[in-house]
Amino acid sequence: MSFAYDLGISHFDVARSYGFGRAEGILGKFLRGKRLNITVTTKFGVVPPTLSRMSRALVPLARSLGRLSPKISQALRRKSGELLIERRFDSAYLSNCLHASLTELNTDYIDIYLLHEPLPLVKSNAEDIIAMLLKFIAQGKICRWGLAYRNPRDHLWGSCLEPEIVQADGNIDTLSDAKHLGGPSSQTIITRPFFGGIQKWDDRRNGQDDLATKLMAVEFRKSDIPAVSLALARRLSGSNGSVVCSMFTPAHIIENVGLISSIDRDSRIRRIVEMFVAMDRGTGIALG
């Protein structure tokens, strides 16, 4: 975190469930003396699992092994998904989670507070939760609230709640569904811009002869894929939105910070993004 902060990154995104319940506490220690210079998103709803002392001690080792082997990494992600399957969305749990987050983050307010991958909420639950969120906003414990979707298409039901913030994946896999995000009264935060990787981009390119010809004309290379992915996410987030990237190593942080500062100046990357969006029929995304 210190490395990212020193390079100008000032927004950090966590959740009650991240790091099996440890992420907020780690960020809270880092925030000391820096809170006024940093904005924080945290979330509630995905119930963090209860791990034994031995399991907690093994988490760092498992992550180190995962970085060494793609197969181990995939197995760890599957296991994490099994442990983080439980969801709970009600006003009492919201209150408990918010106050736990404030304590762990070592702060008296949270900039953005999100419902974490909610399933469609029944009307009574939604009304109770929104009333509780507005109460905490009035108390100064939350600045803004919103929904962190499991899939962008969840905005088809979530938009009726009129969230201030909408957060969802925006990448080559979710391009068609991302057209539903945002609105005149909400801000869009795009996550996981690099999901899908090289193979997904090649599949989309090779499936369209006309597009492939155009891409060859602008010299589309596999080395362009990170920049194109990030530029696409920027487009999907809209004029007042933002993009959140997962970054795991200093080299990864340096690469992403460099991409952010360069893509707006690269007209060739912008043309490639426009071609991919145009290929995705009916997205309704305005490009300029």
Q: So what's the pLDDT on residue 238?
A: 87
pLDDT, mean over the chain = 82
Q: What is the mean pLDDT of residues 228-255?
A: 89
Q: So what's the pLDDT on residue 67?
A: 56
Q: So what's the pLDDT on residue 272?
A: 86
Burial of 89 (0-12, 13-18, 19+ CB in 10 A): buried
Separation of alpha carbons 1 and 5, rounded Å: 6
Please say if the pLDDT value at position 70 is more than 60. no
Nearest to 170 by CA among 161, 160, 179, 162: 179
What pLDDT band is residue 206 in, cutting at 50, 70 and 90? low
As a whole-number percent, the residues of the chain with pLDDT over 90 amount to 45
Looking up tokens 């439980």, which residue turns up? 86
Range of 56-60, 219-223, 229-233, 236-240 with top mean pLDDT? 229-233
- 4-33 pLDDT tens trace: 999 999 999 999 999 878 899 999 999 999
Please say if the pLDDT value at position 240 is more than 90. no
Q: What is the mean pLDDT of residues 23-46?
A: 95
Range of 74-88, 159-173, 248-262 with top mean pLDDT? 159-173
> Which residues, in sequence order, are CB contacts of 238 under 8 Å at separation 6+?
182, 187, 188
Structure tokens at 259: 């991409």
What b/e string do you get for 222-249 counting C-beta neighbours within 10 Å, with b at 16 or more?
eebbbbbbbbbbbbbbbeebbbbbebee
Q: So what's the pLDDT on residue 286?
A: 38
- 110-169 pLDDT tens trace: 999 999 999 888 888 899 999 999 999 999 999 999 999 999 999 989 998 999 999 999
Q: So what's the pLDDT on residue 270?
A: 87
